[in-house]
Copies of this chain bind each other. A is one copy, B any other.
């Protein structure tokens, strides 16, 4: 069985792992990424960490997940907010020169989605849409075993999709963008505005109040679940996934909101689409596993 190297590069930490074809992590090395110090510090550090993996010379490829949109053909980040100096930096070229094996780069949501599609909740399914609902809302399309990253790596930037154009503009995203309306951050913001009598620290507090029949919380959960149902319905009409694989912190409260989302979704799609699966993400370390799956996914 072939083994691959996955690199999960963040602004603060980096994880490097050896992973087999089945998605099992065989060895992990973790450490600071030195993200604020630029590629001249970050890249040699990654190379050194990879060389600490046992038998790294016999791995069949390296994949790297990074926080931001990626031009996968050129192997560069199109925009790097958390890793200064990395916009346009030749990450893939530099690693190819160091290791002489196939190297692939993609963004962190895309690699997490790839991991879930190949060896996680979506295993065996031809089309999977991964959705993460936490502070923001992001996603990834995996079709025929590969990430569909798009022209400039913006595939999966679903947080900016307008689910109701009548809403107010909240930040740099579109007015009515689903991330501004139904992310964990949005849920907390709306609850704090509308329920000054309650202590709201995270989205889970809102769902619990709704379960206790607080009328404002019930109305807010109704609003959020409708907004998410529109999002899922839109995605289905575009690529009809076998399953949505859903991750992110808000899924801790899935029992409180997911059944409502699914029920509303079914009213927004054609009859033949009502059986789309809504699955919870399964993997503990999708970032590093998915990065390692990148070269595997690009074979043949």
Are A148 and B73 interface neighbours, CB within 8 A?
A: no
Are A152 and B238 interface neighbours, CB within 8 A?
A: no
Asked if A196 is an interface residue, CB under 8 A from chain B, the answer is: no
- Number of identical protomers: 2
For the complex, what is the distance from the CA of A114 to the CA of B163, rounded to whole Å?
29
Given A141-B238, A165-B164, does the pair A127, B154 have CB atoms closer than 8 Å? no
For the complex, what is the distance from the CA of A79 to the CA of B141, rounded to whole Å?
25
Are A273 and B152 interface neighbours, CB within 8 A?
A: yes
- What residues on B are CB-neighbors of A146 within 8 Å? 143-144
Given A127-B148, A273-B154, does the pair A161, B240 have CB atoms closer than 8 Å? no
Partner of A149 from the list B235, B240, B272, B300 (CB cut-off 8 Å) is B240
Are A69 and B272 interface neighbours, CB within 8 A?
A: yes
Contact-residue bracket for chain A: 35 or more
- What residues on B are CB-neighbors of A155 within 8 Å? 127, 237-240
- What residues on B are CB-neighbors of A152 within 8 Å? 240, 272-273, 275
Q: Which of A230-245 contact B (CB under 8 A)?
A: 230, 233-242
Are A272 and B237 interface neighbours, CB within 8 A?
A: no
For the complex, what is the distance from the CA of A234 to the CA of B176, rounded to whole Å?
12
Asked if A206 is an interface residue, CB under 8 A from chain B, the answer is: no
Are A268 and B73 interface neighbours, CB within 8 A?
A: no
Q: Mark contacts of A22-55 with chain B using CB atoms, 8 A cut-off: 1 yes-contact digit, 0 otherwise.
A: 0000000000000000000000000000000000
Are B238 and A162 interface neighbours, CB within 8 A?
A: no
13 contacts between A and B (CB under 8 A): A69-B270, A126-B151, A127-B148, A143-B143, A144-B148, A152-B273, A154-B272, A154-B273, A155-B239, A155-B240, A158-B237, A161-B233, A174-B268
Q: A150-B242, A151-B273, A151-B276 are in contact. List 19 more A-B contacts (CB 8 A).
A: A69-B272, A143-B143, A143-B148, A144-B144, A144-B148, A148-B239, A150-B236, A153-B240, A154-B240, A154-B272, A155-B240, A156-B240, A160-B269, A161-B233, A161-B238, A162-B234, A165-B230, A234-B234, A300-B300
Give A residues with C-beta under 8 Å from B. 69, 73, 78-79, 126-127, 139, 141, 143-144, 146, 148-158, 160-166, 174, 230, 233-242, 268-270, 272-273, 275-276, 300
